[in-house]
Structure formats: C-alpha cells, structure tokens
Amino acid sequence: MKLKGRLTEHGARLLWKNFLPTVEKFGKTCQVLLGTDDVHFIQTSLNTDGVHVTARFAAETLFDVDSYRCQSKHFNLIAFQVEVGLLLRVLKGAAATNSEMVEVKLTTRQIPGPAGEPQSKPFLSFTAVGASTTVVQDVPISKPYTALEVQSLVAAKDVGAFCPAYVDVVPALGPAQAIVDRLKAVDDTAMLAVSRGGDAHVLVQTPSVALGAQLRELPVYPHTAYDPAGGDRSKSVSDQLQEALDNGNAASVYIQLKHLSRVLHATMFTEPAQVLCGIAEGGGHVHIMHVFRDPQRNDVYDDNVTLSFKLPVRDN
C-alpha cells in the first residue's frame, strides 16, 4: 500500500478554506477514500447525526499529477478515518506560513503502547516546505480499511438514483436561510415540498401554531422536469401546494430543520453557483447538491469538484 503526492495550491485552498470547515459542521470525523482518479471525503451515520455527506475531487484537482501515487492490492483504493479538525489545522498552518509545497504520504510510526512496548500506528505525514523552513506534521488515522470495508465505503459514496426534479435554491438563498432559522425556533421538524413548477415549501405545524413559507419560481433541473402549468397563483399558498401534491406535480417529506439549516449555511464556506434540492422517488431522502463554477471559466460548471448531502426523512 502506497500513498504519496504534492498538494496543488488550488487543492489545498479548497480543503482548508471551503470543504473541511463544511465537513466539520456535520461531524468531527470523516472517512477518506483515495483512488487513482478521485478523492472522496465521506461522512455516514458513523460520523454524523444522520446526514450523509460526500465531497468528491478529481485527483488532479488536489494533487500534482506527476507526484501522485495511490497503490493498493484492492483496485488501488485506500480508505481510512481521520479527525477533520487535525487535517484542517495542518493545512491552515501550511497556508499561514506561505509554504511553497505541501507533500502528503501514508506512513507508519512506532509509538509506545499502553505497557510501554512499541506499537506501529498509521499516520498521514504532511511535509510543508517554505523558503527557509521545513515543517513535518503527522496526523493519526485509523487502520487502513480492509477490502470489504473499502467496498462498503465505495457503495456508500454514491447517492444512487437522482431525484426526479430539483429546484435551485440560490436565487432565494438568503430568505431560505432566514425562514429555516425562524422555523427552528418553533419546532424541530418541518414538511419540505418541492414542485416541478419551481416552488419550494417549508411548513411547521404544531398543536398551537402553523407557520410556513413558499419560495416561488426557482429554476428547475433537469429542464425536462419543469412543468410550466404550475398552480393557480390566485389560490392560497396551502391550496397551491395541495393541488400540486394531488396531481403529482410535487413531492413532500418531513425532515429535521437542523439538518436543512446546516446544509444551507454551509454555502458560506463552499460558495456554490447552484444549490439543487430534490426529493427522492418514493420520499426516501432529500438530496441537496452544491454545484460549482469552473475556476478557469465562469460560464461552465466544474465537474472536478462535487458536494452532496442526503438528509434523512422522518415520519409525520
């Protein structure tokens, strides 16, 4: 098993400035899956309170291609668990000292065991080289995953089938964040509905109060899912929603507001061009994707970096 590579300046910045702070909001640990083509940072129910988080990077985005080596007996895949805060601290430190190069490699160290006997432990070793300094820091990791554990993580990284329709929340992101934060003060569970006409509804209902909001005319993806027929705007919001649900033009589920709030507020770190929100076929989960602009061309999206969240649903 061998892992070694030099981080690109862009890749290191994406990690310490954008993605690791986001991942840390959902859990203190994450699982890292490295392959020859892609690198994933994954959080499952082992790492969070229910939200499934997957950040994917093309290997060439994070690592200098000439220096990157990822080799193992299991399809050249390597996986392990690590504390997010430790990774973040090392990368922030390298950036603060204006390091010209940061090299990462998988290594083992002999450390004293409980009875003083030497034990071999795995680490991610970071070597930050500056104009006049070289700093080496070792981040402890879990034992590298077995082939069976790797395969389980490979299966977990995929969302499965995409949702029938998504709405892009970015045009109403500020109001959406404020609405969800306000509803959190009323109850911890809300109904979320997404319609093919471009509306999103969030509704809290308790024995003493009903409070909700409608976000209108949001972009719908894929474009073929858009139904311009929509609802009758002369009707009340609740009647519009009920009509859309009755005719199959909308889907609804119940979710924990803290999960939705966290995902929406994560945009302050990741700065996505789109935040696509959809409800899975059959209502099994809510799928939210942060979509990013290509750093070289603002008119296209970046396929080399993706971030997705699966929010669990609750019974009414």
Q: Quick one: pLDDT at residue 136?
A: 94
Looking at the structure, do residues 176 and 199 belong to the same domain, yes or no?
A: yes
161 belongs to a structural domain: no
DSSP state for residue 14 in the 8-state scheme: I
pLDDT in tens, 228-255: 875 677 788 888 899 999 999 999 999 9
SS3 letters for 52-71? EEEEEEEHHHHECCCCCEEE
Residue closest to 141 by CA, chosen among 124, 119, 125, 127 = 124
Q: Long-range contacts of range 204-208, CB-CB < 8 Å, 24 or more positions apart? A: 204/257
Looking at the structure, do residues 191 and 51 belong to the same domain, yes or no?
A: no
CATH number for the domain that contains residue 33: 3.70.10.10
Tell me which residue range forms the domain holding 244.
Answer: 166-314
pLDDT over 90 at 115, yes or no: no
Q: How far from 168 is each of 77, 161, 194, 221, CA to CA, in Å?
A: 34, 18, 10, 8
pTM: 0.94
pLDDT over 70 at 92, yes or no: yes
Looking at the structure, do residues 45 and 109 belong to the same domain, yes or no?
A: yes
17 belongs to a structural domain: yes
Looking at the structure, do residues 16 and 119 belong to the same domain, yes or no?
A: yes
Looking at the structure, do residues 172 and 150 belong to the same domain, yes or no?
A: no
Q: Of 156, 185, 218, which residue constitutes the final position of a domain?
A: 156
pLDDT in tens, 190-229: 999 999 999 999 999 999 999 999 999 999 999 999 998 7
If one counts every other C-beta atom within 10 angstroms of the C-beta of residue 249, the result is: 18
Count: domains in the chain: 2
What does the alpha-carbon distance between residue 22 and residue 139 come to, in Å, rounded to a whole number? 19
Looking at the structure, do residues 113 and 186 belong to the same domain, yes or no?
A: no
46 belongs to a structural domain: yes
What does the alpha-carbon distance between residue 291 and residue 39 come to, in Å, rounded to a whole number? 17
**Percent of the chain having pLDDT more than 90?**
84
Looking at the structure, do residues 152 and 173 belong to the same domain, yes or no?
A: no
Which of these ranges, 57-61, 108-112, 195-199, has the smallest mean pLDDT?
Answer: 108-112
Q: Quick one: pLDDT at residue 230?
A: 59
Looking at the structure, do residues 133 and 225 belong to the same domain, yes or no?
A: no
